[in-house]
């Protein structure tokens, strides 16, 4: 029989820590801090709108680019929060989560051999999606000493004549890092100088904890025409299962992205789109309440880490902490496995998000304060024992 598989797909590795994920899923009574989605239910008025649309029998396809009302609300939302201005007809369309938007943006822009700069640690899909789009991924290893922000120097050092796209994964999963205005300005200069395009994955934009709210790189001078802004409802409105996101950018690129979307997807789920209209029309307060709640948990975890002497920079975005465990002389996966077995706390090894995540753990605070307290007590007990064992070993 002939090999049924594409040569490209077999080169793509399944997630390297799948083994660890399997162990976790088999352990019933573990406290997991490994979830990358909000613990809140979708606010009721949003769910209600989805239900209402079903009752009304709104179960047909929408136009390929999405409901007109939703596209209008999306552009208003981006204007109101981030000062971005997009035409809802030609520069905006609705996707199946941010993930689809990442995929089709890469497919619409890449030719074989084009290089895509991917700062890591970052979400797991950029690299395989680049390969599937015939591009060449080039990883930029972000550094803890820079609080995992991308610096102009790091960017410049990674650029070659083949570089076409820079992925901007901020606010960042897994580190919680953000890029503030001054950081983005420095990066934007290099992007413009080298004539690059940016795919800015801003799915966590509603969850930042600094005075100045999230800044979109597309709002900086000269960046709008070279940036695809990707966002969605999963993290901001606790709507992961609804699978709804959107892409905004220059018409020239969006038109081609829409072509792929049209043939591969048809349109985003109709029920979800109706619900999302309600989310944007009257959901700002829900988002703010959830943000406040996350912020309290973030402060609590940071305090506990400081107290137990676990090195961790203060993250200002998303709902993750990224503490360093290098002092224990174990790999992230070893540490996570041992922690799971000894104290039944599940965390994600930093290496799930790139090689430079070695020595770090991703800890999600999309959990109630009470669960976090219990988990922190267990982690503290675990590392105290580790440290004691180490000091006995030396003596």
Partner 1 sequence: MREKILTFIEKNSRIDLKELAIVLGVDEAAVMNELEAMEQENIICGYHTLINWDKAGVEKVSALIEVRVTPQRGMGFDKVAERIYNYPEVNAVYLISGSYDLLVTIEGKTLREVSQFVSDKLSTLESVLSTQTNFILKKYKDHGTVMTEKTIDERIQMIP
Interface residues with partner 1 (CB under 8 A)?
Answer: 15, 20-21, 24-25, 30, 32, 34-37, 39, 123-124, 173-174, 295-297, 299-300, 303, 346, 348, 352-353, 369, 373
**Is the Cβ of residue 20 or residue 86 nearer to partner 1 in the bound state?**
20
Q: How far is the CB of 371 from partner 1 (least distance, A)?
A: 9
Q: How far is the CB of 35 from partner 1 (least distance, A)?
A: 5
In angstroms, give the least distance from the CB of 355 to partner 1: 15
The backbone torsions φ and ψ at residue 10, rounded to the nearest 5 degrees and listed phi first, read -70, -20
Nearest to 237 by CA among 246, 229, 228: 246
Residue 248 pairs in a beta bridge with 92, 229
Phi first, then psi, for residue 352 (nearest 5°) are -65, -20
**Residue in 71, 100, 101 with CA at minimum distance from that of residue 86:** 71
Tokens 């997630």 sit on residue: 15
- Which residue, 217 or 372, is less far from partner 1 as judged by CB? 372
Work out how close the CB of 366 gets to partner 1 at its nearest, in angstroms, rounded to a whole number. Answer: 8
Beta strand 320-321 with 197-201 is unpaired
The residue among 296 and 329 lying less far from partner 1, judged by its C-beta, is 296
For residue 45, is the peptide bond before it cis, meaning its omega torsion is within 30 degrees of 0? no
Least Å from the CB of residue 30 to partner 1: 7
17 vs 228 by CB, closer to partner 1: 17
Lookup result for tokens 């025409």: 225
Q: How far is the CB of 39 from partner 1 (least distance, A)?
A: 7
Query: Which residue reads 């209008």 in tokens?
Result: 72
Task: Please identify, using beta-carbon distances, which residue of 39 and 69 lies nearer to partner 1.
Answer: 39
Q: How far is the CB of 357 from partner 1 (least distance, A)?
A: 11
Residue 28 is classified by DSSP as T
Whether 360 and 121 have beta carbons less than 8 Å apart is answered as yes
> Cβ closer to partner 1: 253 or 321?
321
In the complex, minimum distance from the CB of residue 299 to partner 1, in angstroms, rounded to a whole number: 5
Nearer to partner 1 (CB atom), residue 33 or residue 101: 33
Q: How far apart are the first and last CA of the chain?
A: 63
The backbone torsions φ and ψ at residue 166, rounded to the nearest 5 degrees and listed phi first, read: -115, 125
As a whole number of angstroms, the distance between CA 185 and CA 194 comes to: 14
Q: Please state the closest distance from residue 202 (CB atom) to partner 1, in A.
A: 18
Contact of 275 with 242, CB cutoff 8 Å: yes
CA distance 324 to 313: 9
Output 14 or 393, the one with its CB closest to partner 1.
14
Angle at 106 between CA 103 and CA 109, to 5 degrees: 145
Alpha-helix runs per DSSP H in 194-283: 251-264, 270-282
Residues 366 and 334: their CA atoms lie apart, in Å, by 24
Question: Which residue, 100 or 115, is less far from partner 1 as judged by CB?
Answer: 100
Q: 12 or 252, CB closer to partner 1?
A: 12
User: Shortest gap between Cβ of 392 and partner 1 (angstroms)?
Assistant: 32
DSSP codes of every residue in 195-247: T-EEEEE-TTTT-B-SSSPP--GGGSTTTGGGEEEEEESTTTTT-GGG--EEE
């Amino acid at each position: 029989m002939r090999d049924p598989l594409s040569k490209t797909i077999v080169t793509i590795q399944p997630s390297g820590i799948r083994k660890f994920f399997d162990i976790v899923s088999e352990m019933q009574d573990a406290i997991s801090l490994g979830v990358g989605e909000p613990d809140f239910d979708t606010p009721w008025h949003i769910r209600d709108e989805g239900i209402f649309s079903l009752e009304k029998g709104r179960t047909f396809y929408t136009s390929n680019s999405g409901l007109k009302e939703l596209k209008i609300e999306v552009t208003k939302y981006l204007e109101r929060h981030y000062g971005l201005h997009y035409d809802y007809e030609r520069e905006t369309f609705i996707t199946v989560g941010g993930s689809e938007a990442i995929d089709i943006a890469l497919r619409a822009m890449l030719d074989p051999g084009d290089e895509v700069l991917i700062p890591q640690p970052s979400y797991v899909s950029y690299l395989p999606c680049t390969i599937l789009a015939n591009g060449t991924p080039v990883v930029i290893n972000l550094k803890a000493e820079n609080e995992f922000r991308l610096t102009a120097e790091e960017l410049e050092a990674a650029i070659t004549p083949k570089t076409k796209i820079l992925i901007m994964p901020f606010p960042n999963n897994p580190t919680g890092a953000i890029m503030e205005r001054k950081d983005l300005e420095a990066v934007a200069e290099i992007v413009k100088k080298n004539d690059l395009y940016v795919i800015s994955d801003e799915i966590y934009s509603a969850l930042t904890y600094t005075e100045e709210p999230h800044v979109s790189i597309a709002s900086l001078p000269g960046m709008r025409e070279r940036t695809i802004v990707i966002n969605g409802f999963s993290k901001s409105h606790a709507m992961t299962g609804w699978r709804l996101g959107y892409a905004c950018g220059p018409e020239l690129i969006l038109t081609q992205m829409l072509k792929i979307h049209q043939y591969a997807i048809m349109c985003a789920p109709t029920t979800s789109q109706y619900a999302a209209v309600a989310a944007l029309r009257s959901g700002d307060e829900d988002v703010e309440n959830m943000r406040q709640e996350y912020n309290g948990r973030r402060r609590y975890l940071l305090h506990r880490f400081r107290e137990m002497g676990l090195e961790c920079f203060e993250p200002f975005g998303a709902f993750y902490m990224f503490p360093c465990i290098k002092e224990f002389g174990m790999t992230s996966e070893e540490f996570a496995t041992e922690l799971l077995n000894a104290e039944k706390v599940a965390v994600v090894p930093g290496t799930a998000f790139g090689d430079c995540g070695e020595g770090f753990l991703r800890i999600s605070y999309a959990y109630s304060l009470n669960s976090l307290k219990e988990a922190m007590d267990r982690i503290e007990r675990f590392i105290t024992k580790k440290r004691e064992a180490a000091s006995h070993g030396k003596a």
